[in-house]
Amino acid sequence: MPTEPLVGDDRVVHTVVAKRAHQIPERPPLRLAVGEHVEVGERDREWPEFVFVTASHGSGWVPARHLSASSGTAVVQTPYDTTELPTQHGDVLEVLAEDLTSGWLWCRGPGGDEGWVPAKTVEDTS
């Protein structure tokens, strides 16, 4: 299974429905490229796979396994996009990639926008 968003990929893994709304953070999304240097900060308590990183062009939460180190200065080893998709209860979403280790799904919403959605906020439609 993919561990990174398949931005632009039209492959639908399956369809889910939002069982509760997901609000996105106010900070702009961070898109990291392989080889980029970041400063690694705290580990998230709710989502323990994630660490807060600061890059030259922004900051955001990234799975630690995508980095060369889990603290201090690290190098991005896997490209990552922190874009989250806001959802409302009842939204039907197409799952394009799954990161079940981290507990998030890369989804396409009813309006065509894409981003990460917490797996715990959705349920399968079947």
Residue-wise pLDDT tens digits, 32-49 = 999 999 999 999 999 999
At 78, phi and psi to the nearest 5?
Answer: -135, 130
pLDDT at 8 over 50: no
Pairing relation of β-strands 104-108 and 92-99?
antiparallel
Residue-wise pLDDT tens digits, 65-121 = 999 999 999 999 999 999 999 999 999 999 999 999 999 999 999 999 999 999 999
Residue 76: both structure tokens together: 């991005």
Residue-wise pLDDT tens digits, 56-69 = 999 999 999 999 99
Residue with tokens 């030259």: 56
pLDDT of residue 3: 43
pLDDT of residue 10: 56
pLDDT at 26 over 50: yes
